[in-house]
A and B are shown apart, each in its own frame.
Chain A
Amino acid sequence: MGYDARFRVWRGDASDGSLQDFTVAVNEGEVVLDVIHRLQATQASDLAVRWNCKAGKCGSCSAEINGVPRLMCMTRMSTFPAGQTVTVTPMRTFPVVRDLVTDVSFNYVKAREVPAFAPPPEVAPGEYRMFQVDVERPQEFRKCIECFLCQNTCHALRDHEENMPAFAGPRYLMRQAELEMHPLDARPDRRREAQEDQGLGYCNITKCCTEVCPEHIKITDNALIPLKERVVDRKYDPLVWLGSKIRRRT
Chain B
Amino acid sequence: MTDLARTDTERTDIERYEYDVLVIGAGGAGLRAAIAAREAGARTAVICKSLFGKAHTVMAEGGIAASMGNVNPNDSWQVHFRDTMRGGKFLNHWRMAELHAKEAPARVWELETYGALFDRTQDGKISQRNFGGHEYPRLAHVGDRTGLELIRTLQQKVVSLQQEDFAETGDYESRLRVFQEATITDLLVTDRRIAGAFGYWRSSGQFIAFSAPAVVLATGGIGKSFKVTSNSWEYTGDGHALALRAGATLLNMEFVQFHPTGMVWPLSVKGILVTESVRGDGGVLQNSEGKRFMFDYIPDVFKDKYATSADEADGWYEDPDRHRRPPELLPRDEVARAINSEVKHGRGSPHGGVYLDVSKRLPADVIRRKLPSMYHQFMELAEVDITAEPMEVGPTCHYVMGGVEVDPDTAAAAVPGLYAAGEVAGGMHGSNRLGGNSLSDLLVFGRRAGVAAAEYAAGLDGRPAVAEADVQRAREEALAPFQAEGGENPYAIHDELQTTMNDLVGIIRKAEEIEQALLALQSLADRVAKVGVLGHRQFNSGWHLALDLRNLLVVSQCVARAALRRTESRGGHTRDDYPAMDPKWRQVNLVCSLDDTQVRVKDQPLPAMPPELLSLFEWSELSKYMTSEELEAVPGAPRDAQLPTDDNGERA
Residues of chain A touching chain B, judged by Cβ–Cβ distance below 8 Å, are 13, 27-31, 34, 40-42, 45-60, 74, 76, 97-99, 101, 103-104, 108, 111-112, 115-117, 119, 125-126, 128-132, 135, 138-139, 142-146, 179, 182, 185
Are A112 and B159 in touch, CB under 8 angstroms? yes
B59 CB-CB contact with A under 8 Å = yes
Which chain B residues border A135 with CB–CB below 8 Å? 117-120
Are A58 and B58 in touch, CB under 8 angstroms? yes
Are B373 and A29 in touch, CB under 8 angstroms? no
Which chain A residues border B86 with CB–CB below 8 Å? none
Q: 11 A–B contact pairs at CB < 8 A? A: A45-B490, A49-B541, A54-B232, A54-B269, A58-B54, A112-B163, A126-B68, A126-B106, A128-B109, A142-B117, A142-B142
Which chain B residues border A145 with CB–CB below 8 Å? 58, 148
Tell me, in angstroms, the Cα distance from A85 to B464 when the chains sit together. Answer: 58
Are B162 and A112 in touch, CB under 8 angstroms? yes
Known: A97-B539, A115-B163. 6 other contacts (CB 8 A): A56-B377, A74-B380, A101-B203, A111-B159, A126-B109, A185-B115
Tell me, in angstroms, the Cα distance from A107 to B380 when the chains sit together. Answer: 27
Are B54 and A59 in touch, CB under 8 angstroms? yes
B73 to chain A, nearest CB (A): 14
Are B117 and A27 in touch, CB under 8 angstroms? no
Are A117 and B538 in touch, CB under 8 angstroms? no
Tell me, in angstroms, the Cα distance from A144 to B117 when the chains sit together. Answer: 13
Which chain B residues border A116 with CB–CB below 8 Å? 115, 156-157, 159-160, 163
Are A182 and B540 in touch, CB under 8 angstroms? no
Which residue of the partner chain B has the closest CB to A14? B538
Which residue of the partner chain B has the closest CB to A99? B539
Which residue of the partner chain B has the closest CB to A49? B541
B8 to chain A, nearest CB (A): 12
**Main DSSP-derived SS at the A contact region:** loop
B29 CB-CB contact with A under 8 Å = no
Tell me, in angstroms, the Cα distance from A16 to B123 when the chains sit together. Answer: 59
B198 CB-CB contact with A under 8 Å = no
Are A54 and B380 in touch, CB under 8 angstroms? no
Tell me, in angstroms, the Cα distance from A138 to B68 when the chains sit together. Answer: 24
Tell me, in angstroms, the Cα distance from A144 to B53 when the chains sit together. Answer: 11
Which chain B residues border A142 with CB–CB below 8 Å? 117, 142, 148-149, 152
Spot the interface stretch: B186-194, B260-268, B426-434, B506-514: B260-268
Q: Which 5 A-B residue pairings sit nearest by Cβ, starting from the closest?
A: A29-B266, A117-B115, A116-B160, A46-B535, A129-B124
Tell me, in angstroms, the Cα distance from A128 to B116 when the chains sit together. Answer: 11
Interface centre among B142, B149, B266 (most CB of A within 10 A): B266
Are A125 and B51 in touch, CB under 8 angstroms? no
A102 to chain B, nearest CB (A): 10
A197 to chain B, nearest CB (A): 13
- B538's partner among A45, A98, A125, A130 (CB-CB below 8 A) is A98
Tell me, in angstroms, the Cα distance from A13 to B205 when the chains sit together. Answer: 14
In the complex, the number of residue pairs spanning A and B with C-beta atoms less than 8 Å apart equals: 176
B624 to chain A, nearest CB (A): 36
Interface centre among B117, B123, B376, B381 (most CB of A within 10 A): B117
Which residue of the partner chain B has the closest CB to A132? B120
Tell me, in angstroms, the Cα distance from A239 to B168 when the chains sit together. Answer: 37
Q: How many interface residues does B have (CB within 8 Å)?
A: 72
Tell me, in angstroms, the Cα distance from A112 to B161 when the chains sit together. Answer: 10
B131 CB-CB contact with A under 8 Å = no
- Give residues 61-106 of B contacting A (CB, 8 Å): 68, 105-106
A182-B124 contact given A45-B542, A52-B232, A54-B272, CB 8 Å threshold? no
A53-B539 contact given A41-B491, A74-B381, A117-B160, CB 8 Å threshold? no
- A57's partner among B266, B373, B534 (CB-CB below 8 A) is B373
B533 CB-CB contact with A under 8 Å = yes
B302 CB-CB contact with A under 8 Å = no
Tell me, in angstroms, the Cα distance from A142 to B115 when the chains sit together. Answer: 11
Tell me, in angstroms, the Cα distance from A20 to B373 when the chains sit together. Answer: 35
- B54's partner among A60, A139, A182 (CB-CB below 8 A) is A60
Tell me, in angstroms, the Cα distance from A143 to B146 when the chains sit together. Answer: 10
Tell me, in angstroms, the Cα distance from A47 to B536 when the chains sit together. Answer: 11
Are A53 and B59 in touch, CB under 8 angstroms? yes
Which residue of the partner chain A has the closest CB to B230? A55
Which chain B residues border A117 with CB–CB below 8 Å? 114-115, 156, 160
Tell me, in angstroms, the Cα distance from A52 to B112 when the chains sit together. Answer: 27
Which chain A residues border B227 with CB–CB below 8 Å? none
Tell me, in angstroms, the Cα distance from A101 to B205 when the chains sit together. Answer: 14
Interface centre among A45, A49, A111 (most CB of B within 10 A): A45
B613 to chain A, nearest CB (A): 25
- Give residues 23-59 of B contacting A (CB, 8 Å): 50-54, 56, 58-59
Which chain B residues border A125 with CB–CB below 8 Å? 106, 109-110, 112-113
A52-B50 contact given A28-B266, A40-B491, A125-B113, CB 8 Å threshold? yes
- B115's partner among A57, A59, A131, A182 (CB-CB below 8 A) is A182
- A129's partner among B51, B117, B123, B539 (CB-CB below 8 A) is B123
Interface centre among A42, A103, A132 (most CB of B within 10 A): A132
Interface centre among B68, B269, B495 (most CB of A within 10 A): B269
Tell me, in angstroms, the Cα distance from A30 to B382 when the chains sit together. Answer: 10
B617 CB-CB contact with A under 8 Å = no
B254 CB-CB contact with A under 8 Å = no
Which chain A residues border B115 with CB–CB below 8 Å? 116-117, 119, 179, 182, 185
B264 to chain A, nearest CB (A): 11
B439-474 vs A, CB cutoff 8 Å, 1 = contact: the mask equals 000000000000000000000000000000000000
